[in-house]
C-alpha cells in the first residue's frame, strides 16, 4: 500500500456496544457522528494513508474500524452523509482491502463481503498497487 492519502470514514459498530442496549445506541454515538442501524459513522477531515486512517479509527474508540458497507441502503446513506460533510471532490477511504494482494477482498472489521458497488471497470488494480478501496463521489 502506497503513500497515497485520502479522507476517511470510521465505523463504530455494534460490537463495541452491549447488545442488550439495541435501540438506544444512538445516545452513545460521539457528537457529530451519524447513527444508522445500530452503528455510528464518523467522518475524519485529516488526510491519511489507509493504514493510518484505520489506526486512527481504532485509537478513537476500541473496536472501531474504517467503514464496512453491507447493503445498498447503507451505501446510499453513506453517499448522503458524505455529501453533507465532504465538500472536496477527493476519494474517501473505507475498510475494504486486499491484504494479501491476491484480489481477495475483505473488510477491516473481518465481516463478510456481501455487497459491493464497484464503478465500471473497477477494481482495475491500476499500476498493480490498488489494494485498498475508496468511495469516490
Quick: pLDDT tens for 62-90: 788 888 888 899 888 888 887 876 666 67
pLDDT of residue 34: 81
What's the predicted TM-score (pTM) here?
0.74
Looking up cell 455529501, which residue turns up? 83
CA angle 35, 39, 43 (to 5 degrees): 65
Q: What is the pLDDT of residues 92-101, one digit of tens each?
A: 888 888 888 8
pLDDT of residue 39: 83
Spatial distance between the Cα atoms of 135 and 4, rounded to a whole number of angstroms = 14
pLDDT of residue 1: 46
Structural domain spans, the chain? 6-135
Spatial distance between the Cα atoms of 110 and 20, rounded to a whole number of angstroms = 22
Spatial distance between the Cα atoms of 104 and 17, rounded to a whole number of angstroms = 29
pLDDT below 70 — which residues of the chain? 1-27, 85-89, 125-128, 137
Closest alpha carbon to 48 in 12, 110, 14, 3: 3
Tell me the CATH number for domain 6-135: 3.10.100.10
pLDDT of residue 4: 52
Q: Please check whether residue 71 is in contact with residue 111, taking contact to mean a CB–CB distance below 8 angstroms.
A: no
pLDDT of residue 20: 31
CA distances from 90 to 5, 72, 103, 134 (A): 10, 22, 24, 9
Amino acid at each position: 500500500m502506497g503513500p497515497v492519502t485520502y479522507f476517511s470514514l470510521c465505523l463504530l459498530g455494534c460490537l463495541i456496544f452491549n447488545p442488550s442496549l439495541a435501540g438506544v445506541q444512538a445516545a452513545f454515538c460521539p457528537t457529530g457522528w451519524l447513527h444508522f442501524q445500530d452503528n455510528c459513522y464518523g467522518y475524519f477531515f485529516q488526510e491519511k494513508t489507509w493504514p493510518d486512517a484505520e489506526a486512527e479509527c481504532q485509537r478513537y474508540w476500541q473496536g472501531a474500524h474504517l467503514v464496512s458497507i453491507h447493503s445498498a441502503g447503507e451505501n446510499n446513506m453513506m453517499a448522503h452523509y458524505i455529501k453533507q460533510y465532504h465538500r472536496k471532490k477527493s476519494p474517501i477511504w473505507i475498510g475494504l482491502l486486499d491484504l494479501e494482494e491476491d484480489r481477495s477482498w475483505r473488510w477491516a472489521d473481518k465481516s463478510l463481503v456481501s455487497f459491493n458497488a464497484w464503478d465500471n471497470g473497477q477494481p482495475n488494480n491500476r499500476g498493480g498497487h490498488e489494494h485498498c478501496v475508496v468511495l469516490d463521489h
